[in-house]
Structure 1
Amino acid sequence: MNPLHDAWRDTATHRRVWALAGPMILSNLSVPLVTLVDSAVVGHLPHAHQLAAVAVGSTLYVMLVASLGFLRMGSTGFAAQAAGRADGGALRRVLAQGLLLALGLALLLGLLALPLSRSALALMNPSAALDDLTRTFFHTRLLGLPAALANYALVGWLLGTQNARGPLAILLTTNLCNIVLAVWFVLGLDWGVAGAARAAVIAEWSGAALGLYLARGALGRFPGRPDWPALRRWAAWRPLLTVNRDIFIRSLALQAVFFLMTVQGARLGDATVAANALLLNGLLLCAYALDGLAHALEALCGHAIGAADRQALRRTLVVAGGWSLLASLVFAAAFLLRGDLLVDLQSDIAEVRQVAYRYLPYLALLPLVAVWSYLLDGLFIGATRAREMRDAMLGALAVALPLGWLLQGLGNHGLWLAFLAFMAVRGVWLGGFAWRLACRDGWVGS
């Protein structure tokens, strides 16, 4: 029988994948839902610059926080491999290291964020009204930075232990709290753009408190004593920091692409930057759903590598890959046929809607192009092979930047074409690395 067909027919693997992916998809979908609700709430205020301020301010904050996504990714890979070895001491050390890194980086970035945000806004050359509201939104969001980074570490660690209910509880609590408070603060209390930011801050701290409680309970499943004095030695930190360094560089490159999308869109006008933000919210909806399968892949592949189980690794890849492809086809069809509903839900500003409708075909192509990079990221994270992820991202960026410059004459069409090329090159590059490692049996050996 064909090995791929045999792997796909393994019902136990399907159950394991969906036991993790199902809760993670539900929790991940709540993340773009928050952005959609923020856009919908603020988008029904009277001025386009109010919606644009939330779009630009959110981009600045997400760029800052998402660039530190290694706090989740690194924790997942190392925790999954420790769980595969049934090493409770290592699990405790990974959790402590993740939380300590989150606190230290929050303090550092809090000091750097204000001058960096001024420089970023100067590059965009926004209108005076947009500049003022964006600063208000972004400065308020910074109050939730320590909690946001702690949530990364906690969600990643819980997922690595193959506990999907913990991340689900954290993310749903955070995001549902955000949604309820955003509606209340913006529309009920008439706090406008500042109200959306305050809702997010309170929600992030609520999620962090719940995450600490859940992590304490989860440790009971893995008895063991960590070597706390080892945390004073560089050797205990080097593997985690090396992986996190490469994921950090990879995340910076990814956020640079989204930032440049916002910068170029802002230069094309308030309506264009707002319309692009609405469409990218659709991509986020797709990405977070597909990331649920990628997260399952991280945990299961990391566990298989820790246990040196090649068969489990292959079956997990085939099953998660098959479901990811099917999901991307569904999203592509939905965006192509009824993407206008997504736009209308978020804003009733006629000018913004008309611009967004024009570029919906690009959004419909994105799931089919981007699915492969999402899936392969999960494999490399579970294997704690971050160098390949870094190199693929930098290679894609090196192709997309000059292409975007060459296509400037096409306006927003050129911007979207360059973005599609970036996603395509990234997936092909990661696929090449994965194939080369498979040919020399380098996955379990990593």
Structure 2
Amino acid sequence: MDDTPGARTNPRHHPETELTGRALDRQILALAIPALGALVAEPLFVLVDSVMVGHLGTAELAGLSLSSTLLTTAVGVFIFLAYATTAATARRVGAGDRAGGVAAGIDGMWLGLVLGLVTAAATFAAAPWIVDAMGAPASVAPHAVAYLRASAPGLPGMLLVLAATGTLRGLLDTRTPFVVATAGAISNVGLNALFIYGLGLGVAGSGLGTAVAQTGMGLALVLVVLRGARGIGVSLRPHPAGIWSSALAGAPLFVRTLTLRLAILATIAVATSLGAVTLAAHQVVNAMWGLAAFALDALAIAAQALVGRGLGAGDVTQVRSIMGRCLRWGTGAGAVIGVVFAAAGWWLAPLFTSDDGVRLAAAVGLAVAGACLPIAGWVYMLDGVLIGAGDGRYLAWAGVATLVVYLPLAWAVGAFAPDGAAGLAWLWAAFGGAFMLARAVTTGLRARGTAWMVLGARR
């Protein structure tokens, strides 16, 4: 299989294997629906935490808002463990090298374990300093620190989940991660109830329940991948060269994801500066946005796997078809979810808090976020296409550019917006509107060309 840059200008067409129209829709949905279940389970962890902790008090909910954002940031910057292994595995499988794809996934899992152990130790040790640096009020800071430290031991499991899931996606298996994520989400409810209320651990109990559930999920997925590797004779031992290759392949996606997480951190910092009511309401909107984002990402995962496999097989026509269908699905899904957010915000907010000010701000914030979701759907699909193509270097530069656009807007909201509903509305107009629009422009310009269409098993 030709894997040289020149393959960009030598597209191949395989009409005997090409899927179009409804057949392609069925394959996209066959991958996306189980992926949706697995991805939705992740924000459900935060939603369950929010519902249970929210009834402990406003300070506790605000502490959870800050600390859960920090925790998801610590995990989210390593999302390349899933994305890079999906693309690498799919390309190799498309080129006929299934064993090579699985081997790349195992190297990614070893990398995830090492990064998880280091991140866990750093998070536990630095929790008070991080919370203080975010400007948490005195009533909020102890709860934020307690959650961070209790959840830190679960970080190795969380990163193993990413790497193992990426490998399975590259093999076009999204069902196994769905089953494991569902079991983890259910166990998280019981563990949280036990630790928060049964043992009286409060916010720390929520973090501990999440850590235990995520560790169990990581071990389950690793066992599935290792069992499949033994079946085709792939070694389970760590290979330094392969781990280093995984790290190099993931570095641009790390930068790209870091820029996204910095935007999220800037958003939470602005919400924190606007007061406890805005911060608590932001947790509600952010949790629901996360739920929608992961739902849209399920379609993007289908795009990643199918684009990677299509480029590995050298079929540019199929890749273009996949991109077009996924863009239609993503934009439409974003519009539908957005309408639900705008219409149901007044009924959703009371599930999280009994504070009238927080309820009003959350409802208004949900309406603004809902209006921005069609743009987000477009962005997520193009992200999936370019990640599946292994175009991480461009995505890294594009991420830096969009961050430069967003940070002055976030600063302006923090400087001039009031506390409460109005402030949260302006904040989500900046993040969900302006930031997502900047991402849509940068990814859209790239997708219109052909520079990202490198054919073969390796980019």
* TM-score (norm: length of structure 1): 0.91
Letter paired with 2:339 = A
Whether 1:382 and 2:388 are equivalent positions in the alignment is yes
Matched residue, 2:300: 294
Q: Report the residue type matching 2:439 in the other structure.
A: R
Deviation at 1:255, TM superposition (A): 1.0
Do the aligned partners of residues 195 and 228 (structure 1) sit closer, same or farther apart at CA in structure 2, a change above 3 Å counting? Answer: closer
| Residues 107/210 of structure 1: CA separation in 2 closer, same or farther (3 Å cut) | closer
Which residue in the other structure is 2:314 paired with?
308
Q: Specify which of 151, 155, 174 is matched with residue 145 of structure 1.
A: 155
Partner of 2:375: 369
Equivalent of 1:251 in 247, 257, 263: 257
Gap regions ≥5 residues in structure 1: 1-6
Match of 1:410 in 2: 417
**Counterpart Cα distance in 2 of 1:404 and 1:195:** 33
User: Match for 2:397 among 378, 385, 391?
Assistant: 391
Helix, strand or coil at the partner of 1:384: coil
Match of 1:347 among 350, 353, 371: 353
Report if the CA contact (8 A) 2:120-2:152 is conserved: yes
Instruction: Identify, as 1 or 2, the structure richer in helix.
Output: 1
Deviation at 1:283, TM superposition (A): 0.8
Equivalent residue for 1:422, pick from 429, 435, 439: 435
SS in 1 for 2:140: helix
| CA drift at 1:96 | 2.2
Contact 1:282 1:342 in 2 (8 A): no
1:215 counterpart = 2:228: no
Q: Residues 345 and 364 of structure 2 are in contact (CA less than 8 Å); yes or no, is this contact kept in structure 1? A: no
TM-score (structure 2 length as normaliser):
0.89
Match of 1:28 in 2: 39
Where 1:128 maps in the other structure, the secondary structure is: coil
Equivalent AA in structure 2 for residue 351 of structure 1: G
- The C-alpha deviation readout for 1:231-270, integer Å capped at 9, x for no partner, is 344xx45653333111111111111111111111111111
1:35-434 alignment runs, 5 A limit: 35-45=46-56, 47-114=57-124, 116-219=126-229, 223=232, 225=234, 231-233=239-241, 236=242, 239-407=245-413, 408-411=415-418, 412=423, 413-419=425-431, 420-434=433-447
Which segment is superposed worse, 200-209 or 88-97?
88-97
Mapped partners of 2:129, 2:446: distance in 1: 36
Structure 2 distance, partners of 1:424, 1:260, is 17
What's the secondary structure of 2:78's corresponding residue? coil
Residues 93, 228 of structure 1: 8 Å contact kept:
no
Structure 1 residues 441 and 119: alpha-carbon distance in aligned structure 2, compared to 1, 3 A threshold = closer
| Match of residue 435 from structure 1 | 448
Paired with 2:169 and 2:19, the residues of 1 have a C-alpha distance of 23
- Whole-angstrom CA distance in 2 between matches of 1:28 and 1:21: 10
Give the letter for the 2:427 counterpart: L
Q: How many residues are aligned here?
A: 433
Distance change >3 Å, CA 80–CA 441, structure 1 → 2: closer
Query: What is the match of residue 3 of structure 1?
Result: none
Contact 1:89 1:227 in 2 (8 A): no
Q: 1:312 to 1:133 in 2, by over 3 A?
A: same
Instruction: Write out per-residue CA displacement over residues 216-235 of structure 1, whole angstroms, 9 at most, x where no aligned residue.
Output: 343377x3556979x344xx
* Structure 1 CA distance for aligned equivalents of residues 246 and 224 of structure 2: 23
Q: Give % identity.
A: 28
Give the letter for the 2:428 counterpart: W
Note the C-alpha offset of 1:171: 1.6
CA–CA separation in structure 2 for the residues paired with 1:404 and 1:75: 33
CA distance in 2, matches of 1:441, 1:70: 18
The Cα offsets for residues 260-291 of structure 1, whole Å up to 9 and x where unpaired, read as 11111111111110101101111111111111
CA distance in 2, matches of 1:278, 1:425: 25
- Partners in 1 of 2:324 and 2:344 — Cα distance? 30
C-alpha distance 134-238 of structure 1, shift in aligned 2 (>3 A):
closer
User: 1:372–1:427: 8 Å Cα contact kept in structure 2?
Assistant: yes
CA RMSD of aligned residues (A): 2.2
- Hey, what's the Cα distance between the residues in 2 that align with 1:190 and 1:17? 45
Bigger shift: 187-196 or 32-41? Answer: 187-196
Describe the shift of the 1:147–1:443 C-alpha distance in structure 2 as closer, same or farther (beyond 3 A): same
Q: Is the 8 A contact 1:246 1:390 kept in 2?
A: yes
Amino acid at match of 2:382: L
**Alpha-carbon distance in 2 for matches of 1:105, 1:34:** 22
Superposed displacement of residue 348, structure 1: 2.3
Specify which of 8, 26, 30 is matched with residue 19 of structure 1: 30
- Return closer, same or farther for 1:136/1:224 CA change in 2, 3 Å cut-off: same
**Residue 388 of structure 1, CA deviation:** 1.4
Contact 1:90-1:226 at 8 Å conserved across structures: no
Report which stretch shifted further, 65-74 or 9-18: 9-18
